[in-house]
Structure 1
Amino acid sequence: MGEPREPKEPKGDLLIWERPEPSIRAALAPLSRERIVDAAIGLADAEGVAGVSLRKVAAVLDTRPMRLYGWLSTKEDLLDLMVDAVYGKMDISASSGDWRADVRAMANETRRMAKRHPWFIELLSGRPRLGPHALRNHEAVLSAFGDRHIDVVLRAAAVIDAYVIGAINLELAEERAERISGMNHEQWQHAMGPYMAKVLASGDFPMLTKVMRDASHPGAAAVFAVGLDAVLDGVALRMGL
């Protein structure tokens, strides 16, 4: 059987953040949004976002899928709750007064949480999430720039956000490739070695030859840090921060 059809509109036209939880019936196993979200996060950590369904969450909680509709209306509600739960685990307390240091700390915190929950960064690629923890995170990022013109702050935050999400997505894509292929990056390079040696021997790719011969290939954390600093330098110069 397929998964139960989900209602298209939130109950009572209220967003998930505005709806109260239903009362718990003693005759049934107790449920709460927290338990539902924890179960969904466990599934997403193991199987990715595609592995999350209301039917699977209900199975983890040993209940019927239709019971979950007392706490949420759609899978999108569930994804919103999952993202907000991860935002709630993030340390956004940086407040040194140095916007670069504070933004760097929050970017590294985003990367830390995305490494723990790889699906998290995938769900940030789109419209802003508006849960309470997400809003506090957005507020902290914007506040890090201090009393500057809000248009400048928004442009700076958008550029930095694009780098952070893009760089983390690339890093996690490499990790997914390792899991799928069964080879880490060094093993994959070794497997591709004979082919690349033949291609580069043609002399048609002098820059790629230099990359293979001379590049240092630092680790992912160092690449992320260097790229972030370059973006912060550009933002500061271009936007007068």
Structure 2
Amino acid sequence: MNTPYPSAAAPIWERPEPQPRAAPVPLTREKIAATAIRLADAHGLDGLSVRKIATELGVGPMRLYDYVVNRSELLDLMVDAVYARIGESGQHSDWRGAVLAIAHATRLATLDHEWFSDLLGGRPHLGPHALAVGESTAAALSRAPGVRGIDDLQRAVGTLNAFIIGALRREVTERRTARSTGTDESAWQASLGPYLTRQLETGRYPTVARLVVDGAHLDAEETFHRNLTTILDGITGHPGT
């Protein structure tokens, strides 16, 4: 069974790198993760395998098991490499600026590595870079007005994470659907517009009709930012604080 954390081995973060070997090519966990990320970017997680990574690196598949015990550890390395990028979002003296920077950096990293959205909300991300991003986020939220104790902080972190995970998964899903069907918004409107018009004209869905007819087409980045600020306003209890 391919267990995430084998009892026979410590977590990958606490195991030293194997001794370097020059032949046939030098390897490191960082190099393996970078190669895996390139393959996942191109083919998704379903197209990722130890054999493909080994072929890309010019080594035998068994050599990779000196560095990662199983696929779960490989995904851990990949995820933490993305968190390393997120962690470069910069330092902010005010709590709100820090949270906004981390959230937007997470969105940009996810759009560049769509497979990352598939791993958000799963088992905990416990690599050093993931923990650093989590620390920065929690530390920033702990300084927010309205967060007066550990219970408030837990709720704030949970609410923020739930929004980010849901928003990014939806945005990535919409991008994938558009690519797989080969349709854009105008084509979708042409194919389903008449049906939707007939349904709305029944008068049974007045609020939906208002959203469809009067609602503006919203930019994905702007929508993410506006909804994010709404979440932060709710945490503080004071818009713009």
Could you say whether these structures have the same fold, taking a TM-score greater than 0.5 normalized by the shorter chain as the test?
Answer: yes
Please give the alpha-carbon distance, in whole angstroms, between the structure 2 residues aligned to 1:6 and 1:195: 48
Number of the residue aligned with 2:185: 185
Number of the residue aligned with 1:162: 162
1:94 to 87, 91, 94: 91
Number of the residue aligned with 1:202: 202
2:119 to 123, 127, 130: 123
Number of the residue aligned with 1:71: 67
For 1:95, give the aligned amino acid: H
For 1:42, give the aligned amino acid: R
User: What secondary structure is seen at the aligned counterpart in 1 of 2:37?
Assistant: helix
User: In the superposition, relative to structure 1, how do residues 67 and 158 fare at CA in structure 2: closer, same or farther (>3 Å)?
Assistant: same
Deviation at residue 201 of structure 1 after TM alignment: 2.6
Please give the alpha-carbon distance, in whole angstroms, between the structure 1 residues aligned to 2:167 and 2:33: 27
Cα deviation code 1:138-195 (max 9, x no counterpart): 1111111345523322221111111011111111111011011101233212221122
Please give the alpha-carbon distance, in whole angstroms, between the structure 2 residues aligned to 1:126 and 1:8: 12
Deviation at residue 7 of structure 1 after TM alignment: 7.6
Cα deviation code 1:80-101 (max 9, x no counterpart): 000000111122423222x222
Deviation at residue 63 of structure 1 after TM alignment: 1.8
Deviation at residue 204 of structure 1 after TM alignment: 2.3
Q: Quick one: percent identity of the two aligned structures?
A: 42
Number of the residue aligned with 1:50: 46
User: In the superposition, relative to structure 1, how do residues 8 and 230 fare at CA in structure 2: closer, same or farther (>3 Å)?
Assistant: closer
Cα deviation code 1:59-78 (max 9, x no counterpart): 21122211110001010000
For 1:93, give the aligned amino acid: G
User: In the superposition, relative to structure 1, how do residues 9 and 199 fare at CA in structure 2: closer, same or farther (>3 Å)?
Assistant: closer
Please give the alpha-carbon distance, in whole angstroms, between the structure 2 residues aligned to 1:215 and 1:8: 45
Structure 2: tracts of 5 or more residues without a match: none
Number of the residue aligned with 1:219: 219
Please give the alpha-carbon distance, in whole angstroms, between the structure 1 residues aligned to 2:131 and 2:44: 24
Please give the alpha-carbon distance, in whole angstroms, between the structure 1 residues aligned to 2:219 and 2:81: 29
User: In the superposition, relative to structure 1, how do residues 48 and 17 fare at CA in structure 2: closer, same or farther (>3 Å)?
Assistant: same
Q: CA RMSD in A?
A: 2.1
Number of the residue aligned with 1:16: 12
Query: Normalising by the residue count of structure 1, what TM-score does the alignment of the two structures yield?
Result: 0.89
Please give the alpha-carbon distance, in whole angstroms, between the structure 2 residues aligned to 1:212 and 1:8: 45
Please give the alpha-carbon distance, in whole angstroms, between the structure 1 residues aligned to 2:203 and 2:158: 41
Deviation at residue 216 of structure 1 after TM alignment: 0.7
Deviation at residue 22 of structure 1 after TM alignment: 1.4
Deviation at residue 33 of structure 1 after TM alignment: 0.9
| Contact kept? 1:39, 1:57, Cα under 8 Å | yes
User: What secondary structure is seen at the aligned counterpart in 2 of 1:13?
Assistant: coil
| Contact kept? 1:40, 1:52, Cα under 8 Å | yes
For 2:173, give the aligned amino acid: A
Structure 1: tracts of 5 or more residues without a match: none
Bigger mean CA offset, 129-138 vs 46-55? 46-55
| Contact kept? 2:4, 2:73, Cα under 8 Å | no
User: In the superposition, relative to structure 1, how do residues 44 and 180 fare at CA in structure 2: closer, same or farther (>3 Å)?
Assistant: same
Number of the residue aligned with 2:228: 228
Residue correspondences, number: 234
